[in-house]
Amino acid sequence: MNDISRLFQAFLAPAIVISATALLVLSINVRLMGIVSRLRQFVHARYNAAKSEQVQIAEAYTAQIESIEKRAEIIRRCFLLALVSLAGTIVSCLLLGMGLYYIQAAYAAVAVFVAAMVCLLGATVYYIREVTVALSSVQEEARDERFMDLGASPEIGGRDPM
């Protein structure tokens, strides 16, 4: 009976971290979807501008696309590190359970959990970095005179991109 209560205690801390990390992954995923959606809008708008021989507007979209692609790369790294952290936390939880019977598994659980927390810290740093540059593309667009004559949003055919 004592082993069962220790097993639940061993699972509790990683389970809380799993829940918190999963919420962070959800938040990152929503942010990534927004970035990808905006990127698709600008790619289509650039194509339409190039097709109608509006070179300056196409160049303006190209600059915005490059900026958004940099943000997408930052958030992609954040997403991957958070997922690795989530997987590491789950593995450490399983190893803790095995650690009740094999002491080496308990030591491995500690090492995996620490590695998972380092990955989570890395994901958080990338997230902070992306949030600090989040408005940069909007500010660049507002300062770029080539966007002043567009008059319409870059949606394709006037439809909502979703």
Q: What's the DSSP call for residue 134?
A: T
Q: Provide the residue range defining the domain that includes 35.
A: 2-148
Q: Whole-prediction pTM value?
A: 0.75
Does 153 map to a domain? no
Q: What is the pLDDT of residues 122-139, one digit of tens each?
A: 999 999 999 888 877 677
Per-residue confidence (pLDDT) for residue 7, from 0 to 100: 67
Query: Within a domain: residue 6?
Result: yes
- Per-residue pLDDT at 140 exceeds 80: no
- Averaged pLDDT score across all residues of the chain: 84
Tell me the chain's radius of gyration from C-alpha atoms. 23
Whether the pLDDT of residue 37 is over 50: the answer is yes
Residue 28 has pLDDT above 80, yes or no: yes
For residue 160, being part of any structural domain is answered with no
pLDDT of residue 162: 43
| Confidence label for 57 from pLDDT (cuts 50, 70 and 90) | confident
Residue 14 confidence (pLDDT): 74
pLDDT tens per residue, range 67-96: 889 999 999 999 999 999 999 999 988 898
Written as six digits, the tokens of 5 are 């209560």
For the purposes of burial, counting CB atoms within 10 Å of the CB of 95, is it exposed (0-12), middle (13-18) or buried (19 or more)? Answer: buried
Q: Note whether residue 159 is domain-resident.
A: no
| 74 falls within a domain | yes
Q: What is the DSSP string of 58-117?
A: HHHHHHHHHHHHHHHHHHHHHHHHHHHHHHHHHHHHHHHHHHTT-HHHHHHHHHHHHHHH
158 within a domain of the structure (yes/no): no
Domain count, the chain: 1
